[in-house]
Amino acid sequence: MIKEDKSLKVLDVKDTANILKLLGDKTRLSMVSMLAEQECCVCEFVEIFQMSQPSISQHLRKMKDLGIVKEQRKGQWVVYSLNTTSEYYLLVRELLKHVPSQREKFDWLEEKGLRITCY
Amino acid sequence: MIKEDKSLKVLDVKDTANILKLLGDKTRLSMVSMLAEQECCVCEFVEIFQMSQPSISQHLRKMKDLGIVKEQRKGQWVVYSLNTTSEYYLLVRELLKHVPSQREKFDWLEEKGLRITCY
DNA sequence: CACACATATAATTATATGCTTATATATTAA
DNA sequence: TTAATATATAAGCATATAATTATATGTGTG
């Protein structure tokens, strides 16, 4: 019996290129790296990236459209998280190994008293 | 003594995003996938991708600029290959694992009698 | 309900990207 | 040296992208 490599899923060149293009943006790559650590809501991203709220929303939208992230409303907030059931999830996890941890960004939110999401 | 993971090199978020953006193009991703198999010259790429020669040259230029590929003149041809000494090489290799082999493209060149590079 | 807060969408704008055509450069062969 | 072939670069154009502002929608609270 051949053992399947659980860290590998072969994808289309075209689909893969689309994912790479999507993650080929500093803001979005940081976002997924953060989401690999913890879930996070829109207004927290706005604080972290010092960027307009619509801009953040649009970045998240693009990632949601390709199924990389998912959203969940929690009261007045919308909390985003990595979609671990995506066919691209393994690729994304692999990519993130090559990028430094973004945990500090959550620490910064805590310090500033801007952390929203409750655990 | 801590054993270093030879398949992992942690990079800047910004640099990584640039690499992903570069490879977030169907043509360029196919190109590096081909180069991971064998070296290849410009005119062969032109045949494979059915695209103008300047367009191919420009794609290769971008990848050369980031150090992902390197070139070597062989007579009237310029042969491109993966730059295995690039700081991005490990990331690129990892990415390519998630993409199907492009060996068939070389087979197609052979069949059509368009294979140039000599081994 | 009215208001505040959080988020999404639409419209606009500036810039980046990818392709084409035209042209320049480099190499080989007659 | 001239012609043919291979490649690179420049300029122009059409489309894509990422940001902004303005506005709409959704939710909690008095």
> What average pLDDT does the segment B11-37 reach?
98
Say if the Cβ atoms of B26 and A17 lie within 8 Å.
yes
Q: For residue B119, what pLDDT is reported?
A: 44
In a domain, B102, yes or no: yes
* Nearest nt to the B75 alpha carbon by C1': C27
Count other Cβ atoms within 10 Å, centred on residue B44: 23
DSSP state of A41: E
Q: Please state the domain count of chain A.
A: 1
In a domain, B117, yes or no: no
The beta-carbon neighbor of A100 closest among B13, B24, B26 is B13
Asked whether residue A16, judged by its CB, lies under 7 Å from any atom of the DNA or RNA strand D, the reply is no
Range of the domain at B69: 13-111
Say if the Cβ atoms of A21 and B19 lie within 8 Å.
no
Model-level pTM? 0.94
In a domain, A101, yes or no: yes
Q: Cα separation of B18 and A117, whole Å?
A: 31
Q: For residue B5, what pLDDT is reported?
A: 80
Q: Cα separation of B78 and B46, whole Å?
A: 13
Distance A58 CA to C10 C1' (A): 12
Digit-coded pLDDT (tens) for A70-89: 999 999 999 999 999 999 99
Are B57 and B48 within 8 A, CB to CB? no
In a domain, A118, yes or no: no
Digit-coded pLDDT (tens) for B41-88: 999 999 999 999 999 999 999 999 999 999 999 999 999 999 999 999
Distances (CA, A) of B58 to A97, B6, B51, B52, B117: 30, 32, 11, 10, 20
Q: For residue A47, what pLDDT is reported?
A: 97
Looking at chain B, the whole-number percentage of residues with pLDDT higher than 70 is 97
> What average pLDDT does the segment B113-117 reach?
87
The helix-helix angle for A26-35 and A89-96 (nearest 10°) equals: 100
Q: What is the CATH number of the domain that holds B100?
A: 1.10.10.10
Are B100 and A15 within 8 A, CB to CB? no
In a domain, B1, yes or no: no
Say if the Cβ atoms of A95 and B16 lie within 8 Å.
yes
Nearest residue to D8, CA vs C1'? B57
